[in-house]
């Protein structure tokens, strides 16, 4: 082909007569960010991104490139804001430098606005059955909450409005219904807990009722190592999460159906076998050196170290391996 301006033969684009700057069109940049959480608004949606990722996204949306220009590399610097395009056209390497205006606007995102306004759609009421919540349980629940909030970082309702500690447990107020629901289900799976769901009308919008949901999650009264009675059997809980235990008499694994707590793991004492016959085992309680007599519910040997369970006025022996299975 012959260039109509300079008369030179060329293939593709005549670089003698072409202004390289016109091979790339780039609009000015407007970045909207939340001053509180640092998220960015892209195409009407708030997203948690690095600033560099936002610029990369805007370049992909704002740039228009001559169809015969092949871009091989894009370099970005910020002081001043400069974008360098390296590529090839008509078998010639070219470098085109653009300095578009970069304007950063501040706008409070939906999440931060709702959070500061005390907005919530669901409440998680964390309780324990017939006992107080333990520190380790609360820490684990907090881990579950933080894990779900991180996974839902772009969800504008994924936040905690407030946490209220009560005599009977802890209440967590969540921005979104689904966040409260996901956290509750995760706690149920982790602890083998029970859950009750209820809802109340919180208002009306455009003739439609708005609801707030309450998830009452109750952790079981027993934990691993505790002693329970279920279906007439005295058992050591081995896995509270899946309701598994072991019968102290038969040493058989059982699935708990309607267990009743008999003793905490901490109430079980260490002891040593002094003597035994067909029905009774004589023991020394190693914590106070008291001699006690227990029902012979398992085979033991003289001098063997075991655990002693006291229920009312009766004593039972628990082989060491049974308690080890619960830990």
119 and 204 both lie in a single domain:
yes
Residue 195: pLDDT above 70?
yes
Cα–Cα distance for residue pair 221/244, rounded to 1 Å: 14
**Residue 7, domain member (yes or no):** no
The answer as to whether 199 is a domain residue is yes
Q: Which of 58-67, 143-152, 183-192 has the lowest mean pLDDT?
A: 58-67
Query: Mean pLDDT in the chain?
Result: 88
pTM: 0.73
| Same-domain status, 170 and 243 | no
Alpha carbons 225 and 234: distance in angstroms, whole number: 12
Residue 1: inside a domain: no
53 and 133 together in one domain:
no
Q: Which domain holds residue 308?
A: 227-325
* Band of residue 128 on the pLDDT scale cut at 50, 70, 90: very high
Q: What is the pLDDT of residues 255-290, one digit of tens each?
A: 999 899 999 888 888 889 898 888 888 988 888 888
The pLDDT score that the predictor gives to residue 318 is 84
- The residue with greater pLDDT, 66 or 206, is 66
| Side-chain-side CA neighbours of residue 303 (13 Å) | 0
pLDDT band of 208, cuts 50, 70, 90 = confident
Domain count for the chain, please give it.
Answer: 3
Share of the chain above pLDDT 70, in %: 92
Question: What sign has the CA pseudo-torsion 71, 73, 74, 80?
Answer: negative
The answer on 181 and 244 residing in a single domain is no
Confidence of residue 4 (pLDDT cuts 50, 70, 90): very low
Give the SS3 label for residue 127: strand
Query: Looking up tokens 């004593």, which residue turns up?
Result: 315
Domain end residue (candidates: 182, 198, 219)? 219
Domain end marker among 189, 219, 249: 219
Is pLDDT at 327 greater than 70 in this prediction? no
Average pLDDT of span 235-250: 90
Say whether both 124 and 149 belong to one domain.
Answer: yes
Question: Within the chain, where are the H helices?
Answer: 51-62, 110-116, 135-151, 177-191, 320-325
Q: What is the pLDDT of residue 9?
A: 53
């Amino acid at each position: 082909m012959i260039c109509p301006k300079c008369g030179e033969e060329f293939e593709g684009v005549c670089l003698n007569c072409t202004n390289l700057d016109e091979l790339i069109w780039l609009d000015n940049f407007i970045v909207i960010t939340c001053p509180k959480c640092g998220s960015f608004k892209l195409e009407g949606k708030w997203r948690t991104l690095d600033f560099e990722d936002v610029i990369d996204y805007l370049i992909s949306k704002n740039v228009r490139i001559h169809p015969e220009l092949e871009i091989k590399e894009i370099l970005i610097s910020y002081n001043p804001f400069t974008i360098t395009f390296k590529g090839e056209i008509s078998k010639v390497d070219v470098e085109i430098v653009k300095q578009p205006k970069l304007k950063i606007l501040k706008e409070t995102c939906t999440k931060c606005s709702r959070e500061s306004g005390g907005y919530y759609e669901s409440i998680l009421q964390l309780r324990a059955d017939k006992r107080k919540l333990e520190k380790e349980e609360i820490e684990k629940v907090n881990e579950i909450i933080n894990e779900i909030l991180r996974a839902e970082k772009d969800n504008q309702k994924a936040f905690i409005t407030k946490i209220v500690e009560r005599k009977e447990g802890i209440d967590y107020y969540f921005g979104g219904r689904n966040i409260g629901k996901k956290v509750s289900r995760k706690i149920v799976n982790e602890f083998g807990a029970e859950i009750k769901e209820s809802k109340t009308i919180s208002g009306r919008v455009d003739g439609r009722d708005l609801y707030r949901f309450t998830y009452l999650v109750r952790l079981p009264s027993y934990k691993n190592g505790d002693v329970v009675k279920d279906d007439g059997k005295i058992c050591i809980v081995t896995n509270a999460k899946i309701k598994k235990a072991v019968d102290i008499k038969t040493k058989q694994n059982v699935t708990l159906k309607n267990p009743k707590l008999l003793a905490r793991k901490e109430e079980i004492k260490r002891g040593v076998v002094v003597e035994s016959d067909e029905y009774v085992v004589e023991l020394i309680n190693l914590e106070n050196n008291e001699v006690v007599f227990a029902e012979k519910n398992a085979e033991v040997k003289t001098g063997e170290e075991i655990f002693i369970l006291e229920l009312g006025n009766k004593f039972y022996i628990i082989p060491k391996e049974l308690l080890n299975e619960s830990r």
